[in-house]
Structure 1
Amino acid sequence: MSTPPTNHDHHSFEDPSARQARDIAEVAAVEVITTTAVHLMSAAAVKCGLADGPDAAELKDLDEARKLITALAGLITAGAPEIGSQHAAPLRDGLRSLQLAFREASLIPDAPGQGPGEKFTGPVN
């Protein structure tokens, strides 16, 4: 026979969204921003055809990559003053690499300043 929960065992009945809110409250903003940027970079790399494995070409989707790179550029541009140059510099380097990979993967290149995210970063060449 099981014993009923005691008052100090309130976590077992806690709403999962309340537990997630408490967990995320413990994470520094710089970590949330950089982690989000890394997720966007990873997704954009796959969509640019840079994934490892034999199915990389099948996963390539430049329309989706454009959206992800533009969102990444906006996040990095807006977040850089908040996260500091030590965190922003490698993110900017990764963004630039993705922008160049996108340009290389495109059959019809965008005009300078019109590539993904370039409205935030300026032309990439």
Structure 2
Amino acid sequence: MPVEHPSDAVRDIADVNAVEVINTVAVHLMSAAAVKVGLADDPAAQTDLDEARKLISSLAGLVVASAPEIGDQHARALRDGLRSLQLAFREASSIPDAVGKGPGEKLTGPVT
């Protein structure tokens, strides 16, 4: 059956390079963390800092571990997004973590 629209095409995971997979996973983690930190349309209903902490810490692990493999141009954008989420978490938290103890800071170093 021919594909009618290019957007209907399905890609074989074997054809996707590692940098693209890493970036895609990172964007999904960033998006989910942003919602849980309260940066979405309905922060009162969607904010969950416990979930945000887990997502941000997982993102930090991915970014730190993959940076040497994906190169600076890709890693820089991921680091910037991660840092923004770490700062948003700090701002959203009513009981701030000590510097260096926030989500992912064990891996990234202190974010202020």
Q: TM-score normalised to the size of structure 2?
A: 0.89
Question: In the alignment, which residue of structure 2 is the partner of 1:50?
Answer: 39
SS in 2 for 1:109: coil
Deviations 1:81-103 (A, max 9, x none): 11000000011000000000000
Question: In the alignment, which residue of structure 2 is the partner of 1:34?
Answer: 23
* Superposition RMSD in Å: 1.4
Alignment of 1:108 onto 2:95: yes
Unaligned runs of 5+ in 2: 1-9
Deviations 1:53-102 (A, max 9, x none): 2x222100000000000000000000001100000001100000000000
Deviations 1:16-60 (A, max 9, x none): xxxx9x811100000000000000000000000000x2x222100
Question: In the alignment, which residue of structure 2 is the partner of 1:10?
Answer: none
> Aligned equivalents of 1:65 and 1:115: distance in 2?
11
Q: Tell me by how many angstroms 1:107 deviates.
A: 0.4
> Aligned equivalents of 1:124 and 1:87: distance in 2?
20
Q: TM-score normalised to the size of structure 1?
A: 0.80
**For residues 1-125 of structure 1, what are the structure 2 equivalents within 5 Å?**
23-51=12-40, 53=41, 55-125=42-112
AA of the residue aligned to 2:85:
L
Between the aligned residues of both structures, percent identity stands at: 77
Question: In the alignment, which residue of structure 2 is the partner of 1:9?
Answer: none
Please identify the structure whose Cα radius of gyration is greater. 1
Unaligned runs of 5+ in 1: 1-19
Deviation >6 Å, runs of 4+: none
Deviations 1:93-117 (A, max 9, x none): 0000000000000001001110000
How many equivalent pairs are there? 104
